[in-house]
A and B are shown apart, each in its own frame.
Chain A
């Protein structure tokens, strides 16, 4: 077990280093930050001076080494766009994204499982068919369009919910939360639906097909023969057995909810790290882009590691194999 974890950690570090290297080799294709940093009146001499000062005249491998050197000491450099330390900015922005991801993840899981079970049990019902059809739209419409549609209906036409921002936030230590105010909660609704819709339909369809399969299994037939009620069969026996693949997918999707919050955050002007990253790309803010990409890859690597370890804990066969070798 311990050797397994150490080996996986080692692999994770290599993945991170490679991600960083690829990221740095791509940055010069994003553009040149110098023009954004200097005013319209800059001279050639200013351009050259700033380029040398920032080390942008160095090969990307050198820039990467410099970044790593700072990063291991917890210093991600200073944002070209805001002129403030990247770590400070990330700490400011993270709560917004994490809260949004948490709420949409929660929505996606609860609604996804509930609707999945429902459509599996009432396979022939009208409601189930309507849900299945609508879920197709959820999968196929791009996020930004869903967001704009929701804004149009609920903000412009019905005037019920805010179209942008986080509403009032309360600071708890260095964590700004929107959970404690009415406007903060209202502001969460539309972005959370937008962000979680795809994951919800995905989980729903997965639960449905797993359920359908399990319901045909022998042990369910025996349970029926024993005269157990539908409730017990569906929820105690069938649902439990569908959850193993659902947990895997959900774990991985949690990562993508955070990573793909970029589009939702841009549409709703949600002040999280996704919006920060979009701004960084437009400005060619290399320190912010680098820190964000590293952070996201750390997150994915960690989630994968945890999922692998969970398998190890859940599935007895893996443990037996490990002992045998």
Chain B
């Protein structure tokens, strides 16, 4: 027995001795929650933290299905198709003892719709939120909105009285120069209470003794100590040395090391995020290419040839070390509208691609600049480097321009890139969300992430019509039709679906959630 195993065994024994009734979970991740204000930042680590302390009306279980949380049932109103009626759970209290009722829901949703909120677009169709009685809430939308509840899975409920008493009615903003009380304090109905918080250093939560779901969920963790550890090597070292029990982002190159260590496990699941390339197909001429007076990307044959040239299996095996699922469409698999046939990645076909290039009038290819982030997605820059080599095989000389995300994303938003990498997650689990942001023509309200300059008014009106189509089978049919156009036009070049890797002590039992947002109340500690 080596010295290290001995130490591990010793520390394991010590932990078993200490932790019969009180179970502490030491949890680390690259980033910290930016704020505790539940409506200020719609961002992964921020809402993951909020989910421990606060709750939403409806939530998703591990499979992605909507399940009751603070609302016990919900349905469209029988009198008015524009209204959704939510029945609230009775007997729920906030951490400070205040009772949870419909007034809090009206307050919280209205707060989430104010201009400083990061969640207002998800509620853009909401006209009014009403409380007909103490435990009923009605949400009226501009027109019928069949997937309204899908938008509520990250809408956290605050206590109206607490917010008013602590001057936290307004979502935190950047102008006042004042600390918002809600940014550093929290009062929710959730399974854990805030004990202490030092931003970017440590957040400690303790189990809520009066939680309504005490008997419904395992709730075996009685204390959570959350520490952001930014440097990947340090994060893995902290797990290996037993200083933390659970890290959310194991770098792919360290997976074998962690999995091969006694007492540690890696658990893997597909993530709700697809990685793809976008192309400028709308402009008459490109600035970054070698073709004068013409836009080669405007020709669908060129786009198809580029897609055929990408060897997705090689990227999966070599760049991602097996940790990805090659993709054929830009939708994660759990999303309504996802289609197994469409997502079956198109097989690599260099000869076919060359033929298409010749047919389109570019037998000798052309050159083009690819803009790529280098700190946003897993191995993003390496994927782009691989693509450069693959596209060279059909004569397309790609100049790679990799930048930090803070410089990369403005290129897409300001339409300054002709060929770019982007990743997309779908919090509503419905294709409409993808279409609204990535397929609809770029404008004030829609298409804000569509950097392709693609504009198809007929398709646009179909996308807008989805929002109020209440006949669900007909709606699914329309979604399928829109996807067919997206695929035929080769609007994007899908690469793969990302995979999540959670590393943890062997005794920690949990299922990896596709949103990368662990809900500690489900964790079992053995």
Residues of A with Cβ closer than 8 Å to B? 29-47, 49, 53-54, 75, 77-78, 80-85, 88-89, 92, 148, 151-152, 155-159, 162-166, 266-269, 271, 275-276, 278-279, 282-284
The listed residue (A38, A44, A164, A284) touching B444 by CB distance below 8 A is A44
The listed residue (A31, A43, A151, A267) touching B410 by CB distance below 8 A is A31
CA distance A31 to B243 in the complex (A): 35
CA distance A33 to B35 in the complex (A): 16
Query: What per-residue 1/0 map shows which CB atoms of B239-271 lie under 8 Å from chain A?
Result: 011110000000000000000000000000000
CA distance A251 to B425 in the complex (A): 51
The listed residue (B175, B201, B230) touching A78 by CB distance below 8 A is B175
A residues less than 8 Å from B40 (CB atoms): 83
Contact across chains for A271 and B201 when beta carbons are under 8 A apart: yes
Asked if B443 is at the interface of the complex by the 8 Å CB criterion, the answer is yes
Asked if B122 is at the interface of the complex by the 8 Å CB criterion, the answer is yes
A residues less than 8 Å from B179 (CB atoms): 84-85, 88
A residues less than 8 Å from B404 (CB atoms): 31, 282
Asked if B177 is at the interface of the complex by the 8 Å CB criterion, the answer is yes
A residues less than 8 Å from B119 (CB atoms): 39, 41
A33 to chain B, nearest CB (A): 7
Contact across chains for A54 and B406 when beta carbons are under 8 A apart: no
The listed residue (A75, A164, A271) touching B177 by CB distance below 8 A is A75
| 5 pairs, CB–CB < 8 Å, chain A vs chain B | A40-B425, A83-B34, A83-B172, A85-B179, A275-B230
Contact across chains for B201 and A31 when beta carbons are under 8 A apart: no
CA distance A54 to B241 in the complex (A): 44
A30 to chain B, nearest CB (A): 6
Contact across chains for B41 and A49 when beta carbons are under 8 A apart: no
A residues less than 8 Å from B375 (CB atoms): 282
B170 to chain A, nearest CB (A): 12
B residues less than 8 Å from A88 (CB atoms): 179
B428 to chain A, nearest CB (A): 10
B residues less than 8 Å from A148 (CB atoms): 233-234, 237
Contact across chains for A32 and B407 when beta carbons are under 8 A apart: yes
The listed residue (B4, B174, B176, B228) touching A159 by CB distance below 8 A is B4
Contact across chains for B233 and A53 when beta carbons are under 8 A apart: no
Query: What per-residue 1/0 map shows which CB atoms of B310-338 lie under 8 Å from chain A?
Result: 00000000000000000000000000000
Asked if B229 is at the interface of the complex by the 8 Å CB criterion, the answer is yes
Asked if B7 is at the interface of the complex by the 8 Å CB criterion, the answer is yes
Task: Answer whether A35 and B410 are a contact pair too, CB < 8 Å, given A44-B448, A82-B35, A83-B37.
Answer: yes
A residues less than 8 Å from B242 (CB atoms): 159
Contact across chains for B230 and A266 when beta carbons are under 8 A apart: yes
A residues less than 8 Å from B180 (CB atoms): 83-84
Number of interface residues of B (CB under 8 A): 64
Contact across chains for A269 and B121 when beta carbons are under 8 A apart: no
CA distance A283 to B230 in the complex (A): 14
Contact across chains for B121 and A32 when beta carbons are under 8 A apart: no
A250 to chain B, nearest CB (A): 29
Contact across chains for B7 and A159 when beta carbons are under 8 A apart: yes
Contact across chains for A80 and B174 when beta carbons are under 8 A apart: yes
A residues less than 8 Å from B175 (CB atoms): 53, 78
CA distance A157 to B177 in the complex (A): 46
Query: What per-residue 1/0 map shows which CB atoms of B1-29 lie under 8 Å from chain A?
Result: 00110010001000000000000000000
CA distance A20 to B207 in the complex (A): 47
Contact across chains for B243 and A85 when beta carbons are under 8 A apart: no
Chain B residue at minimal CB-CB distance from A29: B407
Residues of B with Cβ closer than 8 Å to A? 3-4, 7, 11, 34-35, 37, 40-43, 115, 118-119, 121-122, 172-180, 183-184, 198-202, 227-231, 233-235, 237-238, 240-243, 375, 404-407, 409-410, 413, 425, 427, 437, 442-446, 448-449
A residues less than 8 Å from B445 (CB atoms): 43, 45
Task: Answer whether A275 and B200 are a contact pair too, CB < 8 Å, given A39-B118, A39-B119, A156-B237.
Answer: yes
Contact across chains for B230 and A30 when beta carbons are under 8 A apart: no
B212 to chain A, nearest CB (A): 29
The listed residue (B4, B199, B238, B406) touching A283 by CB distance below 8 A is B406
B203 to chain A, nearest CB (A): 12
CA distance A282 to B407 in the complex (A): 10
CA distance A158 to B172 in the complex (A): 45
Besides A35-B413, A37-B41, A41-B437, 6 new A-B residue pairs in contact (Cβ under 8 A), listed by A number: A32-B409, A35-B405, A41-B122, A83-B34, A269-B234, A271-B200
Ranked nearest first, the 6 interchain pairs of A and B with the lowest CB-CB distance are: A31-B406, A39-B42, A41-B121, A32-B410, A39-B118, A31-B407
Chain B residue at minimal CB-CB distance from A53: B175
Chain A residue at minimal CB-CB distance from B33: A82
Chain B residue at minimal CB-CB distance from A276: B200
A280 to chain B, nearest CB (A): 11
Contact across chains for B243 and A82 when beta carbons are under 8 A apart: no
A27 to chain B, nearest CB (A): 11
Chain A residue at minimal CB-CB distance from B47: A39
Contact across chains for A81 and B34 when beta carbons are under 8 A apart: yes
Task: Answer whether A82 and B34 are a contact pair too, CB < 8 Å, given A163-B243, A269-B234.
Answer: yes
Contact across chains for A33 and B42 when beta carbons are under 8 A apart: no
A residues less than 8 Å from B425 (CB atoms): 40
B residues less than 8 Å from A155 (CB atoms): 237-238, 241, 243
Contact across chains for A41 and B200 when beta carbons are under 8 A apart: no
The listed residue (A35, A53, A85, A151) touching B237 by CB distance below 8 A is A151
Task: Answer whether A151 and B234 are a contact pair too, CB < 8 Å, given A43-B448, A44-B443, A271-B200.
Answer: yes
Contact across chains for A47 and B413 when beta carbons are under 8 A apart: yes
CA distance A8 to B174 in the complex (A): 37
A residues less than 8 Å from B178 (CB atoms): 85
Chain B residue at minimal CB-CB distance from A76: B177
CA distance A267 to B235 in the complex (A): 9
CA distance A48 to B506 in the complex (A): 49
B381 to chain A, nearest CB (A): 15
Chain A residue at minimal CB-CB distance from B426: A40
B13 to chain A, nearest CB (A): 14
A residues less than 8 Å from B448 (CB atoms): 42-44, 47
CA distance A45 to B444 in the complex (A): 6
Contact across chains for B200 and A39 when beta carbons are under 8 A apart: no
Contact across chains for A36 and B229 when beta carbons are under 8 A apart: no
Contact across chains for A269 and B4 when beta carbons are under 8 A apart: no
Contact across chains for A92 and B198 when beta carbons are under 8 A apart: yes
A residues less than 8 Å from B442 (CB atoms): 44
CA distance A32 to B406 in the complex (A): 6
CA distance A266 to B175 in the complex (A): 29
A residues less than 8 Å from B227 (CB atoms): 164-165, 269
CA distance A39 to B413 in the complex (A): 14
Task: Answer whether A271 and B237 are a contact pair too, CB < 8 Å, given A80-B174, A159-B7.
Answer: no
Task: Answer whether A269 and B34 are a contact pair too, CB < 8 Å, given A31-B404, A39-B42, A165-B201.
Answer: no
B residues less than 8 Å from A278 (CB atoms): 230
A residues less than 8 Å from B233 (CB atoms): 148, 151, 267
Task: Answer whether A43 and B444 are a contact pair too, CB < 8 Å, given A38-B118, A151-B233, A159-B241.
Answer: yes
Contact across chains for A279 and B200 when beta carbons are under 8 A apart: yes
B residues less than 8 Å from A36 (CB atoms): 406
CA distance A49 to B118 in the complex (A): 13
Chain B residue at minimal CB-CB distance from A39: B42
B residues less than 8 Å from A81 (CB atoms): 34
Task: Answer whether A267 and B35 are a contact pair too, CB < 8 Å, given A32-B409, A83-B172, A284-B406.
Answer: no
Contact across chains for A39 and B41 when beta carbons are under 8 A apart: yes
Task: Answer whether A269 and B230 are a contact pair too, CB < 8 Å, given A40-B425, A82-B199.
Answer: yes
Contact across chains for B230 and A156 when beta carbons are under 8 A apart: no
Contact across chains for B43 and A39 when beta carbons are under 8 A apart: yes
Task: Answer whether A53 and B174 are a contact pair too, CB < 8 Å, given A36-B406, A268-B234.
Answer: yes
Task: Answer whether A83 and B407 are a contact pair too, CB < 8 Å, given A163-B243, A269-B229.
Answer: no
Contact across chains for B231 and A266 when beta carbons are under 8 A apart: yes
